[in-house]
Amino acid sequence: RKEVEQDPGPFNVPEGATVAFNCTYSNSASQSFFWYRQDCRKEPKLLMSVYSSGNEDGRFTAQLNRASQYISLLIRDSKLSDSATYLCVVTLNDFNKFYFGSGTKLNVKP
C-alpha cells in the first residue's frame, strides 16, 4: 500500500473557480505534512506546510484531519499560473524520510 495517495486528476477548472484536492496517508504516526507544487518538467517546490490547526496563505488553504488521515488543499480564485501538479508530502517523526504522493494535476483554463 502506498504511503500517500492522491487523485491524479486532471482537474480542469475555469479561471476564478475554487478547487480542492485531498490526499490520504496510511501511517498514523505521520507527523508533518506539506504541499509541494511541480510545474511541467521542473523540480518540486514547497507551496506550504500543513498545520494541525489548518493554515492559509493568500488564496491557498491547507487543512489536516488526523482522525481520517487526510490533508486537503483549497485554491480560491484560480489563476492560469496555478496550473501545475500538486504533490502531497508526509514525513514521520524522524524527518529523515519524506513520502510523496504521485500528484494531482490542475489545469486552469481562460
Give the DSSP letter of residue 62: E
Part of the chain binding other proteins (CB under 8 A), chosen from 12-20, 44-52, 56-64, 73-81: 44-52
Q: Which residues are CB-neighbours of 53 under 8 A, at least 6 positions away? A: none
Q: Site size for other proteins, by CB under 8 A?
A: 21
CA distance 88 to 34: 6
The residue range among 12-20, 38-46, 55-63, 72-80 that interacts with other proteins, by the rule CB under 8 A, is 38-46
Among 22, 27, 32, 55, binds other proteins (CB under 8 A): 32
Q: Please list, in sequence order, all residues whose beta carbon lies within 8 angstroms of the beta carbon of residue 41, skipping any fewer than 6 positions away.
A: none
Nearer to other proteins, 78 or 84 (CB): 84
On whether the CB atoms of residues 94 and 100 are closer than 8 A, the answer is no
Set of cell numbers at residue 33: 505534512
**56-95: contacts with other proteins (CB under 8 A):** 87, 91, 95
User: What residues line the site for other proteins (CB under 8 A)?
Assistant: 4, 8, 32, 34, 42-46, 49, 87, 91, 95-103
